[in-house]
Structure 1
């Protein structure tokens, strides 16, 4: 049962030797100002300080980059099981790096943050009075906080409102590299104070971090929930601040558009260049936090990861962004990953094969998963049923297939060791959407810890989302296109992102060992610097041209705003030029097969009725409408957009 008021603290506290209190919303109370409005105000003050130093940076650019840095850091922290903590100094350093500002401004920016906090906080006098009584009774009193601020800054805030002497020591998660919400910070406090859990009493406002976690560790806890009205008022203030900021940004930049592209290369430069550069900034921000412990490796997946890494490395050079993190290319595909999951007989591989080989035979699955062609009996020519796959593999014929799968998987396991070593945190970088490779590798190698960062995350397959906590869509994370979220437009024509990053090499199907003992794949040498992914790919070539000319992350973020609006127009209301620029050529089916599928299939000479019926089955429906119905295009595209709006509203109402 939760203890919820100050009155509970007046009861006898026998055997207690240490009192710990949370800081924010407990010892120091938040006013109605939201974090968002505090950031906006602080960055405006920072912009004025920068101007005095000769740096001209608009406040909105500071805000946007700060929010990007903060969001990415916490995402990387959460994907890492919450190990460690986000430090405000790191967020500010990343912000300064992106904007090309000197890192020696960190302390001055921290001072602005402290001044902002002092205006937004007030003292909890009743709790302070009680803590002084405990102190007078001979008990030691400490402050324990999950925060990005270091302990000396927290001490400054506490002393500002309560005067010196109230708190004997401050424990900050930013300094200790552990948090209350995962229990590590409490363990650190118990060790440092040389007390047992039964000798400690903790007070705080967060139900999980300040009550259930310490209680679960044997620490007595009192929950003092924050004022409900203050919470609602803070949320309303944050929403209003963000709305005003977005309107102001739209007014300042709304009339600006990207230069008119003349060909596919210029389209890649003006439209995809800023979008790809912003994606690479998000990768860098994520990697900086993930590598805080110094034991992470980023593996760029064949094939899409090859193009991503080329863009990423170029952006690091252009903006001189530091990243002391091991980075390698990995010979992996969904087929390679499926073999590993097959060896552990994971249900995940049955889901994937069932979807990929619907309408095919058991023999088709065997030929794809194994190393070659097999002389299989008639039973293997039956329609593929995932539920019977393991049974079929246990037959004498299936054992031959399974032996080849095992051999390939052993080669991949050696390759994984070669590129990742004994790294504890393996970060896969790929295009997206569902994260099949992540799901299958995690099932096949349960002793390894994989996580995946990709351009977008979407459960278009309708399968399990159990692996989603380990998959981050850095740009988009939603299952449906929403006209109100411009970045989600890529879900209307996802193949364009795949074709943008994938070089003109085959997917990895077979692995082998070379004379030096290195594992190589039939996709060719995909190691960084050995392959130019932009050859024959004018969109990527143009995007790389843009990245090579970048001088500030603020420019990237501003250009990306306009580029996304232009891309949305090209996808949802394409002109004939857009059809050519984005491309409507065939895409590989993959998964060990050489089949191709058309982005826009059917014949332009087909009857109107047949064309209308076929629109629903096209990979890019808007492109099919623009190609086949030039006169009806405005009405048909408007109707299609209306359908998406209604569907989006319906989904929100049913959540």
Structure 2
């Protein structure tokens, strides 16, 4: 849009008291340099600045820490209800991970602004139009969705324009409201004491600047940038990513790997760095949530108990601050299903249908009610999702329903005591589908409940409507891909669950424990009252790695993690006899109120080769079963299996 067209558009808009302009790619035009390229340059400058003052931090580590802090901050923001990510918070967490003092935030922010000044050009045409309208008596403000503060944005604008061009500056980071959600526009109108209908807004973004402004009755003028500019930025970003990968130094990873003679050693040298990475990401996510909401971080039994132990040790070793309320949560899918059933949730029925496929209504009643019942013959028929709730809430299911209500009332007391007055609940678990979150959200719609877990995958083929509230901090993929090293855990998920789960039963039932408390069949799982590493060599080894970290240990762990993931993938997809010895894990219960257990391997039997090959489909860890059953043929079978997974991953995408 030419200056004349813009001026005519403003004139034709009628009675306008206030003109608001977007900043980036509107008032200040970005060049072809991508955000990734700008950050890369800034971190190189910051690394040199640190070196001149005695801190030797490689640019690649600064880049990685910044990227992780920013990515998880935005992920936490997306799952919440309001707020905006602030650059000072992101930089502060980045520095914490690298053992640098908070006093360096100002230095890093100054570098960020200097790089921005070299990556922007003024939009003189727009500035002239705005200046003419300012002289005509209209107020001019800037409204921007940005991690920068208004003070920082003002510095950038003043670098290119006369100081009196823009009056007030409103940024999402300062106002905790955004244009992309639309709630920043009413805030500006109220602050400026002007009606929304007498505002004209100018910007380049179709959603934030055009659609969301128009919804509020604001006259919106769209000034898009050329499409080719976006393509050039993406190419520039890809080039910056390639350069960062090539320049990354992995001095720890290049040292000879420690031998893995037993499960403790495997836990220490392979799983230790990965567990540390997971805990650091929990902290990054939770730290952002803490800035916006009254929140609680609840670690779900059973796996959450081991995660909590590792997490608290990582916080202590790396001096990572987190004031958020935390607790070990006596919950399971069975317990959450009871709560959801009482709201007649379809999610609960769907979960029961999968877990009890081929079983009877009576079997389901026994599992969720907690005992055997004398029920009419109708209850002995095969379970049918469409009939279950009607039968349960009928007089014939009265005894079952009564037990469910009693158990749920006790569970709600436990849940209420843990969360106290918080309204945003972060459940922390191993993964994969996020069933507990889905069920809990159905049961407690007034609360904001989300889950952060090791991995997220829709292996069940159920609905994914809850996935925006479920974050897989290390893996988010529905199936293993040989090209995604982190997804190797999906080939042997039993390993991750066994790593974090202490030797306690799944939560099934609650009993009264004093006047205002309850206890569960799992025993006392409060932090400090249970040792998750007891008789768990993998976890005790991983905790041993954590306990040796220094305050700068996130740097070492970040580098060690590169080698750890390579070794883990090789161990899972190309297991040796040594690895089989380390990872032949004990059986674990299937949960959901059933006595069934799952074994990693079926009992070894002398069977024909074809029969043994056919039975591989039922194994929890197929690669391990192949290496165990076919020590010679594995050299052909394992590559073949990997190729099949490559094809499957391509089809899935």
Instruction: Establish whether TM, by shorter chain, passes 0.5.
Output: yes
Shift of 1:250: 7.2
Q: TM-score, normalised by structure 1?
A: 0.97
* 5+ residue gaps, structure 2: none
SS in 2 for 1:601: coil
Q: Which residue of 1 aligns with 2:419?
A: 420
Answer yes or no: is 1:76 the counterpart of 2:76.
yes
- Verify the 8 A CA contact 1:280 1:315 in the aligned structure 2: yes
Separation of aligned partners in 2, 1:605 and 1:587: 25
Q: Which residue of 1 aligns with 2:507?
A: 508
Shift of 1:367: 0.6
Q: Which residue of 2 aligns with 1:284?
A: 283
- Verify the 8 A CA contact 1:85 1:174 in the aligned structure 2: yes
Q: Which residue of 2 aligns with 1:542?
A: 541
Q: Which residue of 2 aligns with 1:411?
A: 410
Q: Which residue of 1 aligns with 2:599?
A: 598
| Total equivalences in the alignment | 649
Q: Which residue of 2 aligns with 1:637?
A: 638
Q: Which residue of 2 aligns with 1:160?
A: 159
Shift of 1:6: 3.5
- Verify the 8 A CA contact 1:427 1:450 in the aligned structure 2: yes
- Verify the 8 A CA contact 1:301 1:430 in the aligned structure 2: yes
SS in 2 for 1:616: helix
* 5+ residue gaps, structure 1: none
Answer yes or no: is 1:362 the counterpart of 2:361.
yes
Q: Which residue of 1 aligns with 2:389?
A: 390
SS in 1 for 2:488: helix
Q: Which residue of 2 aligns with 1:438?
A: 437
Separation of aligned partners in 2, 1:252 and 1:524: 45
Q: TM-score, normalised by structure 2?
A: 0.97
Q: Which residue of 2 aligns with 1:34?
A: 34
Structure 1 residues 627-636 or 600-609, which shifts more?
600-609
Separation of aligned partners in 2, 1:385 and 1:574: 42
Separation of aligned partners in 2, 1:395 and 1:35: 60
SS in 2 for 1:241: helix
SS in 1 for 2:371: coil
Query: Residues 604 and 173 (structure 1 numbering): CA distance in 2 closer, same or farther, change over 3 Å?
Result: same
Structure 1 residues 271-280 or 161-170, which shifts more?
161-170
SS in 1 for 2:409: helix
Q: Which residue of 2 aligns with 1:121?
A: 120
Shift of 1:398: 0.9
Shift of 1:244: 2.4
Q: Which residue of 2 aligns with 1:185?
A: 184
Shift of 1:163: 2.5
SS in 2 for 1:426: strand
Q: Which residue of 2 aligns with 1:66?
A: 66
Shift of 1:384: 1.4
Separation of aligned partners in 2, 1:237 and 1:557: 26
- Verify the 8 A CA contact 1:5 1:224 in the aligned structure 2: no
Answer yes or no: is 1:339 the counterpart of 2:338.
yes
Separation of aligned partners in 1, 2:212 and 2:315: 40
Shift of 1:266: 1.1
Shift of 1:87: 0.5
Separation of aligned partners in 2, 1:253 and 1:415: 45
Query: Residues 611 and 482 (structure 1 numbering): CA distance in 2 closer, same or farther, change over 3 Å?
Result: same
Shift of 1:379: 2.3
Query: Residues 534 and 8 (structure 1 numbering): CA distance in 2 closer, same or farther, change over 3 Å?
Result: farther
Separation of aligned partners in 2, 1:61 and 1:231: 28
- Verify the 8 A CA contact 2:141 2:167 in the aligned structure 1: yes
Residue deviations 1:91-148 (CA, integer Å, cap 9, x gap): 1100111111010011111000000001111111111111111111110000011111
| Matching of residues 489-528 of structure 1 within 5 Å | 489-528=488-527
| Matching of residues 157-556 of structure 1 within 5 Å | 157-249=156-248, 255-256=254-255, 258-551=257-550, 552-556=553-557
Residue deviations 1:188-232 (CA, integer Å, cap 9, x gap): 211110001011111111111111111111111111112211110
Separation of aligned partners in 1, 2:497 and 2:20: 52
- Verify the 8 A CA contact 1:4 1:222 in the aligned structure 2: no
Separation of aligned partners in 2, 1:101 and 1:516: 48
Residue deviations 1:152-195 (CA, integer Å, cap 9, x gap): 11001001112211101111111111111112221221111000
Shift of 1:252: 6.3
Separation of aligned partners in 1, 2:8 and 2:559: 53
Q: Which residue of 2 aligns with 1:583?
A: 584
- Verify the 8 A CA contact 2:60 2:249 in the aligned structure 1: no
- Verify the 8 A CA contact 1:510 1:522 in the aligned structure 2: yes
SS in 2 for 1:107: helix
Answer yes or no: is 1:25 the counterpart of 2:18.
no
SS in 2 for 1:201: strand
- Verify the 8 A CA contact 1:256 1:562 in the aligned structure 2: no
Separation of aligned partners in 1, 2:54 and 2:284: 26
Structure 1 residues 242-251 or 54-63, which shifts more?
242-251
Query: Residues 10 and 177 (structure 1 numbering): CA distance in 2 closer, same or farther, change over 3 Å?
Result: closer
Residue deviations 1:486-520 (CA, integer Å, cap 9, x gap): 00111111111100001000000001221142121
Query: Residues 4 and 255 (structure 1 numbering): CA distance in 2 closer, same or farther, change over 3 Å?
Result: farther
Answer yes or no: is 1:54 the counterpart of 2:54.
yes
Separation of aligned partners in 2, 1:6 and 1:615: 69
Q: Which residue of 2 aligns with 1:561?
A: 562
- Verify the 8 A CA contact 2:301 2:330 in the aligned structure 1: yes
Separation of aligned partners in 2, 1:155 and 1:309: 43
RMSD after superposition: 1.6
- Verify the 8 A CA contact 1:600 1:619 in the aligned structure 2: yes
- Verify the 8 A CA contact 2:293 2:424 in the aligned structure 1: no
Query: Residues 632 and 232 (structure 1 numbering): CA distance in 2 closer, same or farther, change over 3 Å?
Result: same
Structure 1 residues 89-98 or 643-652, which shifts more?
643-652
Query: Residues 84 and 25 (structure 1 numbering): CA distance in 2 closer, same or farther, change over 3 Å?
Result: same
- Verify the 8 A CA contact 1:575 1:626 in the aligned structure 2: yes
- Verify the 8 A CA contact 1:267 1:581 in the aligned structure 2: yes
- Verify the 8 A CA contact 2:253 2:560 in the aligned structure 1: no
Shift of 1:650: 2.6
Separation of aligned partners in 2, 1:582 and 1:223: 59
Residue deviations 1:279-312 (CA, integer Å, cap 9, x gap): 0000000011001025111111111110001000
Separation of aligned partners in 2, 1:502 and 1:469: 26
Shift of 1:257: 5.4
Separation of aligned partners in 2, 1:199 and 1:573: 67
The 4+ residue runs of structure 1 with deviation greater than 4 A are 250-257
Separation of aligned partners in 1, 2:533 and 2:4: 61
SS in 1 for 2:108: helix
